[in-house]
Structure 1
Amino acid sequence: MAKTDESLVKLDRTDRRILENLQKDGSLTNQQLAEKVGLSPSPCLRRVKALEDAGIIIRTATILDHKKLGLSLTAIVLIGMDRHTPERFAAFEEQVAEYPEIQECYLITGQSADYMLKVVVPDMDHYHHFLLNHITRIQGVSGVHSSFVLRRVIDSTALPLGYLS
C-alpha cells in the first residue's frame, strides 16, 4: 500500500482482497482472513493495521435485521431549508445527528431539496410522531417530502473495489 497524495492510497491486489473479504464478513478472525487472502497471519494483521491507520477501514459494524427487531418502515425523506447558509446547515446537521432513527443523512444537489434522510422506525404512527415532533421542529426546515420503501432491491454496505488499480 503506497500513498499517492494526501487523500488517495494505492492498494495492491492483496489489500483489495483483504477489504473485499472484510466487507463480506467483518467478524472474520485474522487467521481466517489470512487463509482467505493467501497470507500468513502476521503479514495479514500488519496489512489490516496499515489499512486502519490509513483511514481506509473506518470501523467494523454488525448489520442487524431491522424487520426482526420490529423496525418495519423505512422512509426516504427530502428536506428543504429556508436559508442556504453554513450556519443553518451546521445547525441542522448537528440536530439530526442526535436522532437514532436517522440512519443516513446526505447534503444533496439536483433536487428541490437540500438534504436526503433515511429514517427507520417501527410503523407509520412512529414515523408521523417523529416527523411532527422532531424533523419539522428543526429551525430552518421549510419543506419535507417523504417516500416509503416498499422493498429493498439492493441493500449493501460494500464499496465496489474493482475500480481501484
Structure 2
Amino acid sequence: MDEIDSKIIHALQLNGRLTNQELSDRVNLSPSPCHRRVRILEESGVIEGYSARVSHRALGMPIVAFIAVRLASQSKDAMALFEDGVRRTEEVTACYLMSGPQDYILQVFSISLDTYEQFVREKLSELPGIGAWETNFVFGEIKKSGLVLDPRLIK
C-alpha cells in the first residue's frame, strides 16, 4: 500500500459515494488506474464495505450505553459461547475483546431507559458466561469520525 492508496482510502472514508471520476480527481490519478486500485483494496480486505452513517438520535434512539463485561471464566469455550451469543443479539451494535479488568466492551443504542432495562433483563442477562457487567451511559458525543487514518497522511 502506498500514499495513493492511503489517499483513496481517506477520500472514500469521507465520502463513500464518490464516483470513480470524482475519486480519481481527488487523488490525482486517471480513472482507470484509480478504479483498479479501489478493486484491489476491496479484494484484499482493506476496504471491508460501504455504509451510511446514521444518526441514532434521528432514529429515536437517544440512549447510548457502553457495557463492560467480565466473564465468569476466560476459557476458550466460555469466550466462544459469549461471542456467539453477542453476534446473535441485534441490540449490540459493537463488541470489542479488551485487555485489562474487563473482557469485553459492548455498545448498545436504546429508545429509553425502560427499553434498556428490558434489554438487560431479557437479553444481556441471558448471554452465556457473564460474571458481571457495568453500564456507562453517554451524556454527550465529543468526536465520532469513524476514520482510520494512515499515519503518512497526518501532518
Q: Same fold (TM over 0.5)?
A: yes
Q: TM-score range by the shorter chain?
A: over 0.9
Give the TM-score of the pair, scaled to structure 2: 0.94
Partner of 2:130: 141
Q: What 5-or-longer segments of structure 2 have no aligned partner? A: none
Whether the 8 Å CA contact 2:3–2:152 is kept in 1: the answer is no
How many residues end up aligned between the 2 structures?
153
Residue among 32, 48, 54 paired with 2:22: 32
| Structure 2 partner of 1:88 | 78
Please state if 1:125 is matched with 2:114. Answer: yes
Query: What RMSD in Å do the two structures reach over aligned CA positions?
Result: 1.2
Deviation for aligned residue 1:163? 4.6
Aligned-pair identity in percent equals 33
The separation in 2 between residues aligned to 1:13 and 1:114, in whole angstroms, is: 36
CA deviations on 1:92-148 (whole Å, 9 max, x unpaired) are 11111112221110111212x211101111111111000111011122111110000
Aligned to 2:32, which of 14, 18, 42? 42
Residue by residue, what CA displacement relative to the aligned partner does 1:2-46 show, whole Å, maximum 9, x if unpaired?
A: xxxxxxxxx211111101100101111111111111112111100
Aligned: 1:68 with 2:74:
no
Secondary structure of 1:75's counterpart equals strand
Checking the alignment, whether the CA contact within 8 Å between 2:69 and 2:132 is kept in structure 1 is: yes
Letter matched to residue 126 of structure 1: T
TM-score (norm. length: structure 1): 0.88
